[in-house]
Structure 1
């Protein structure tokens, strides 16, 4: 594993000092990881994988191999113990594997068929169609949060640079900021950037820029309550740790979950932590859609009308208070399916 770490760091053009700084550990410790004289913790391995863009499975296998060799490699019964352990691990893995309901699996299968069809007609992608759909996304995402701009007014603000009479400065900024945040996640998608703390804080910074500059791109320092919800977000002193776990969960699960489930889970987990004073919903939906775009899907646009908004909030509430995410996963999957169907219809397929 030591060679893997050193090669990845050098490929990224980083010094051991810079890696240490980004990990929040001592520089000497990074050097010891690379020389093999110290073993990183599991959490540090996951962080290193994200930072150095090493495939998580590759680095975890290397780390576990060295851990096994160090613990039992010299023991005469090591091979027999490993054979017995293999049986045990296979059984535990099979029994603990998270099951997807047949209803959700059916929608995921339908989505995958639609995506195959979409992949075959990518040549029909149009900048103007994408622009129109992104405009709708900005309109709907802001409408969920109470912005009163119409779709036409949203268009005039973004594409004509007009000021709408009777609408507040905040509403204008929400429109402009959200559109810039979409451009940002598209850039991240094209660069195939991993989702990490820096990117999520940058998305949030764009959302609140000029509206609440002192809170833009910063975790909250006060306790908050979610209006109309019985879910109580974690205390402010727990937010940084919860967010650290959030990114570790992503790195651990991003290769094993269906992209729709992964995107929905990341949305639900982020909005449940509620790490910001304001803009949590918009940021969570942007993170969800970044994952969908990275995996070749299209933006899942949750509507802001009363019925859609209530269903969205109710499924989130169930996930947050009853530890049952099924309804929310189904809701997001259905939104993505409808978005794909509509997109294929627009391009005439």
Structure 2
């Protein structure tokens, strides 16, 4: 790791004094990092990775390797201990994922039955359901951004092209933009387009189409954001075939909120991407009612994720909403 840091600093043309000032780390510490006399903290590794343009994963692996070597050194049974530690890490990860699935197996089975029932409807019925859900999807997303259009007004704007008296042009544009987004992610889903940066940035630009916002379709100007988003896309590719789609979509939602990659529209982007994944796997939109109980439950689930790093409560919440939405969709035809 010491060579990584020193070589990267020299390639950037920084003196230790200059790097210390930029990173807000004592100059003597920078020198000790490069000589191997001291080890950076995890926060310092993050700063140095950004400033020196070192791949974060590469630097973190080097840092962890040295931490492990420092602890176990040349102990006689070090290799055997490392092998057991690797097995334990893999075992724990599998147990967490399987625990989430097993604890929710009943509701997952119920959702599958409802989904199969829905898919048994004819083309005309499915189109009727799709149109209703898309209107609600548009309304939910603009409502979360403070748009004052009611659900009925939203339907009038996107289905009939009616201008609502007393509502601003921006509020109308937001509704029209989300109608376009609904159609776009539906098309992506039918084409089985995998989650990727190009589409995510384009969808973000659609949110602000015709609305003055210079950073639409762009991440925040922060190298760490780009790294985190690349890790998100890699995580998705590695898990899209071995996680249940609703659990996958829920986790992506949490990751986008956690990264907070855009100046505006992060909540809406998390919701769009989650629903894109659900539609691609033949589920329907996750749509929450804008009432006090649902709002409280949503924020409680998010709070447990942020404070206790417990994603299971949020996943349970999304599963419950998906089941309710499937039941409501079926009732549109059968009532």
With structure 2 as the length reference, what TM-score do the two structures score?
Answer: 0.69
2:96 maps to 1:96: no
2:133 maps to 1:133: yes
Find the structure with the greater CA-based Rg. 2
Any conservation in 1 of the 2:157–2:163 contact (CA below 8 Å)? yes
Any conservation in 2 of the 1:158–1:176 contact (CA below 8 Å)? yes
Counterparts of 1:127 and 1:196 in 2: how far apart (Å)? Answer: 28
Counterparts of 2:300 and 2:168 in 1: how far apart (Å)? Answer: 29
2:283 maps to 1:297: yes
Residue 184 of structure 1 corresponds to: 184
Mean Cα deviation higher: 248-257 or 301-310: 301-310
Residue 305 of structure 2 corresponds to: 319
Q: 1:156 to 1:121 in 2, by over 3 A?
A: closer
Any conservation in 2 of the 1:300–1:332 contact (CA below 8 Å)? yes
Any conservation in 2 of the 1:141–1:302 contact (CA below 8 Å)? no
Displacement of 1:175 in angstroms is 0.8
Per-residue Cα deviation, 1:195-229 (whole angstroms, up to 9, x for no partner): 100111111111122224411111123xxxxxxxx
Q: 1:332 to 1:164 in 2, by over 3 A?
A: same
Unaligned runs of 5+ residues in structure 2 are 1-54, 58-82
Give the length in aligned residue pairs.
Answer: 254
2:143 maps to 1:146: no
Any conservation in 1 of the 2:137–2:182 contact (CA below 8 Å)? no
Counterparts of 2:107 and 2:327 in 1: how far apart (Å)? Answer: 13
Any conservation in 2 of the 1:177–1:206 contact (CA below 8 Å)? yes
- Identify the match of residue 280 of structure 1 among 266, 271, 296: 266
With structure 1 as the length reference, what TM-score do the two structures score?
Answer: 0.67
SS at match of 2:195: coil
Counterparts of 1:106 and 1:306 in 2: how far apart (Å)? Answer: 27
What does residue range 41-60 of structure 1 map to in structure 2 within 5 Å? none
Any conservation in 2 of the 1:239–1:275 contact (CA below 8 Å)? yes
Residue 110 of structure 2 corresponds to: 110
Counterparts of 1:126 and 1:114 in 2: how far apart (Å)? Answer: 14
What does residue range 162-177 of structure 1 map to in structure 2 within 5 Å? 162-177=162-177
Residue 74 of structure 1 corresponds to: none
Q: 1:212 to 1:305 in 2, by over 3 A?
A: farther
Displacement of 1:127 in angstroms is 2.2
Displacement of 1:142 in angstroms is 1.8
Residue 203 of structure 1 corresponds to: 203
- Identify the match of residue 251 of structure 1 among 237, 241, 248: 237
Displacement of 1:104 in angstroms is 2.5
Displacement of 1:91 in angstroms is 7.5
CA RMSD of aligned residues (A): 2.6
Per-residue Cα deviation, 1:305-343 (whole angstroms, up to 9, x for no partner): 333223222312321232011111011111100111111
Any conservation in 2 of the 1:124–1:347 contact (CA below 8 Å)? no
2:228 maps to 1:242: yes
Displacement of 1:105 in angstroms is 2.7
Unaligned runs of 5+ residues in structure 1 are 1-40, 44-85, 222-235
Q: Which structure has more helix as a fraction of its residues? A: 2
Counterparts of 2:292 and 2:177 in 1: how far apart (Å)? Answer: 24
SS at match of 1:345: helix
